[in-house]
Amino acid sequence: MKRLISALAAAGLAFGAAVPGIAAAQEFPAKPVRIIVPYPPGGTTDMVARLIGDQLAIQWKQTVLVDNRPGAGGIVGTGTAAKSPADGYTLLMGSVGEFGINPTLYKKLPYDAAADFVPVTMVAKVPNVVVVSPAFAERAHVQTLGELIAYLKAHPRHVNMASAGNGTSTHLAGELFQRMTGTEMSHVAYKGSSPAIADLMGGSVDVMFDNLPASLPFIRSGKLKALAVTTPARSSALPNVPTVAAAGPVPGFDASPWFGLLAPRGTPAAVAQKISQDLTRVLGEPAVQAKMRELGAEPAPSTPDAFAEVLKKDRQKWGDIVRLSGASVD
């Protein structure tokens, strides 16, 4: 009997050693959780992070803090997250910009997109939308995407294209558009979507390929004019706005951003799995889905493994887009 007890105890110790993080996952979270957003408050990444942060705080009965760390097209905040403790209490709200675009766009980054993070879960898929200021639309006689393309061809480099920063999807979607339509615009990079939208409405810049949630309130209020969405299908938030592929027409055009949670390398797999499961539960609630869609985003939770596959494929896909567009930062 003693031998049996000893064997069972040894097996239990071996199991505990082989599956690190299970105890931590069972207790998680035992203190406040921080979600780093590598862009300023008010942009799409920030809005999605705050929506899920509020809901996770309710489920976890713990404070979830959104920590905005903007700069350099998401690089500053992503680099900060990569160097944070790997315990699940610091998460990154990442996007296709930091993990699909930047690895090719930049020669040197303070983080390794493939190695420095543990994928936790996809959160949402979000179309970009081609928006122009009403002043530009009136001045240039542009009411449709086809008319914008014609104006750009007649006035190369005379139109200012705003973006949320070098290497963001708002930048690369515009670069891809120019490449596929044979047009040229002058790129003006901002530190986030909010200041770019403010200048767009003020008339300092003319056009933007913005993430839909950031622009949607201003489209609905008439302060911005939507010409097309960048996804293969129309958005349920703007059902009367055509796709770029159909409206240009620009056959084959597809620039579909996403947002997801990642944790620093070394975060226990069991903790990442628990966060993924908890967020899936949150995003399965009809009220939360309605709020997400009201923002212009489509809930898209996933397992860590499934999200890892998306990251791998998008490094290749968006890397190809960077090379195709000829975009470069350094």
Beta bridge partners of 66: 35
**Nearest to 82, CA basis, from 239, 267, 260:** 267
CATH topology for the 16-126+257-325 domain: D-Maltodextrin-Binding Protein; domain 2 (3.40.190)
pLDDT at 74 over 80: yes
What's the pLDDT score for residue 92? Answer: 98
pLDDT at 218 over 90: yes
DSSP state of 132: E
How far apart, in whole angstroms, are the C-alpha atoms of residue 211 and residue 282?
A: 23
How far apart, in whole angstroms, are the C-alpha atoms of residue 169 and residue 224?
A: 19
What is the per-residue pLDDT across 292-327, written as a single tens digit (0 to 9) for each? 988 888 899 999 999 999 999 999 988 988 887 777
How far apart, in whole angstroms, are the C-alpha atoms of residue 311 and residue 111?
A: 15
What's the pLDDT score for residue 18? Answer: 44
Cis peptide before 257 (omega within 30 of 0): no
Amino acid code (one letter) for 176: L
What's the pLDDT score for residue 7? Answer: 52
Q: Kindly report the average pLDDT of the chain as a whole number.
A: 90
What is the per-residue pLDDT across 16-46, written as a single tens digit (0 to 9) for each? 544 556 766 778 999 999 999 999 898 888 9
What is the per-residue pLDDT across 251-308, written as a single tens digit (0 to 9) for each? 999 888 899 999 999 999 999 999 999 999 999 999 999 999 888 888 999 999 999 9
CA 251 to chain centre: 24
What's the pLDDT score for residue 17? Answer: 45
- Token pair of 90 as six digits: 């610091």
Q: Which residues contact 58 (CB under 8 A, 6 or more apart)?
A: none
pLDDT at 15 over 50: no
What's the pLDDT score for residue 294? Answer: 87
What is the per-residue pLDDT across 104-115, written as a single tens digit (0 to 9) for each? 988 899 999 999
**176 in Cβ contact with 253 (< 8 Å):** yes
Q: Which CATH architecture has domain 128-247?
A: 3-Layer(aba) Sandwich (3.40)
Q: Where in the chain is the domain with CATH 3.40.190.150?
A: 16-126+257-325
Bridge-based pairing state of the strands 33-37 and 90-95: parallel
What's the pLDDT score for residue 72? Answer: 84
- C-alpha distances (whole Å) from 242 to each of 129, 246, 293, 300 are 10, 7, 18, 22
What's the pLDDT score for residue 326? Answer: 72
Q: Where in the chain is the domain with CATH 3.40.190.10?
A: 128-247
How far apart, in whole angstroms, are the C-alpha atoms of residue 54 and residue 64?
A: 7
Beta bridge partners of 125: 258, 298
